[in-house]
Amino acid sequence: MAKKSSKSKAQVQNAEIGEALSRTEQYIENNKTLIAIVTAVIIALIVGIWAANNFYFKPRQVKALEALVPGEKLFQAGNYQAALDGDNYDYEGFDAVIKQFKCTKAANLARAYAGLSHAQLGQFTEAIPYLQKFKGKDHMIAPSVLAALGNCYAQQEDYSKAAATLVKAAKKADNNLLSPAYLVQAGQLYEQLGDKATALKLYQQVKDKYYQSTQASDIEKYIERVK
């Protein structure tokens, strides 16, 4: 299992991860809950993982992060439209940060913010390109954004792509906090697609590999359902 920094571990202890959905047919109805969870995870990790690296940024990168701050605050306050469009003052929106500060970590993070903002507004088609372009190698933010992308596909009723993306997110995270939730959600989508064999494989992975997770405590009912 991949190791996380002590700072990220301390921060994610406070993240609230809800239990996986108990019924396949509830997936779309409750989908916004996952997006909110992804949002919470990203907010919790921004300071510890991204801002902590300020000392190593070149001047332009520091300026890019400063330009992103107003958007972060609007996003955290739930004012997603203003975060996207700007605040009528000095902040012009996530797209402006992306365009003005290309190839910076702040621009990359702005893509995640923009995608999640569109998703929170129910604009899933608009969210997808931003989430697709986000690049990350860590085991928390990157898989969280990938899972949000999967949920956007689900909202578009592209369940096959949604399930595959959630499985990819689980593999990228490879931890007890995120992976089991993503695997259960993917399993439910495979059930919806009539692929019980794949769903069983994912549920069994939660039981065997992530047995210390919250989801593992009631995974047996999922396994029995698809046997």
Q: Residue 19 has what pLDDT?
A: 37
On whether both 93 and 152 belong to a single domain, the answer is yes
Ordered per-residue pLDDT tens for the chain, 227 residues: 444 444 444 344 334 333 333 333 454 445 545 555 555 555 555 544 555 555 455 677 888 889 999 999 999 899 999 999 998 788 999 999 999 998 888 999 999 999 999 999 999 999 999 999 999 888 888 999 999 999 999 999 999 999 999 999 999 999 998 999 999 999 999 999 999 999 999 999 999 999 999 999 999 999 999 98
Residues 81 and 139 in one domain: yes
Domain final residue pick, 135, 157, 179? 157
What is the domain extent for residue 227? 159-227
119, 136, 157 — which closes off a domain?
157
Q: What's the CATH number where 131 sits?
A: 1.25.40
Q: What's the confidence (pLDDT) of residue 18? A: 34
At residue 213, what is the residue type? Answer: S
pLDDT at 57: 52
Amino acid type, 97:
V
CB 189 within 8 A of CB 162: yes
Token couple for 128: 């997808």
Q: Is residue 13 part of a domain?
A: no
Q: Are residues 206 and 151 in the same domain?
A: no
User: Same domain for 153 and 163?
Assistant: no
Domain count for the chain, please give it. 2
Asked if 123 and 169 sit in the same domain, the reply is no
Short-list 92, 43, 46, CA closest to 67: 92
Residue 192's contacts (CB-CB under 8 Å, 6 or more residues apart) are: 24, 25, 27, 159
Based on the fold, state whether residues 74 and 119 are members of the same structural domain. yes
Q: What is the pLDDT of residue 111?
A: 95
Q: Is residue 36 part of a domain?
A: yes
Instruction: Answer yes or no: is 2 within a domain.
Output: no
Which amino acid is residue 65, in one-letter code?
L
| SS3 sequence of the chain | CCCCCHHHHHHHCCCCCCCCCCCHHHCCCCHHHHHHHHHHHHHHHHHHHHHHHHHHCCHHHHHHHHHHHHHHHHHHCCCHHHHHHCCCCCCCCHHHHHHHCCCCHHHHHHHHHHHHHHHHCCCHHHHHHHHHHCCCCCCCHHHHHHHHHHHHHHHCCCHHHHHHHHHHHHHHHCCCCCHHHHHHHHHHHHHHCCCHHHHHHHHHHHHHHCCCCCHHHHHHHHHHHHC
Do residue 139 and residue 113 come from a single domain? Answer: yes
Instruction: Tell me, yes or no, whether 194 and 143 share the same domain.
Output: no
Task: Identify whether 46 is part of a domain.
Answer: yes
pTM confidence score: 0.77
Instruction: Tell me whether residue 5 is in a domain.
Output: no
The residue out of 104, 133, 157 marking a domain boundary is: 157
Are 212 and 114 part of one and the same domain?
no
Question: Do residue 52 and residue 153 come from a single domain?
Answer: yes
The whole-number pLDDT of residue 33 equals 52
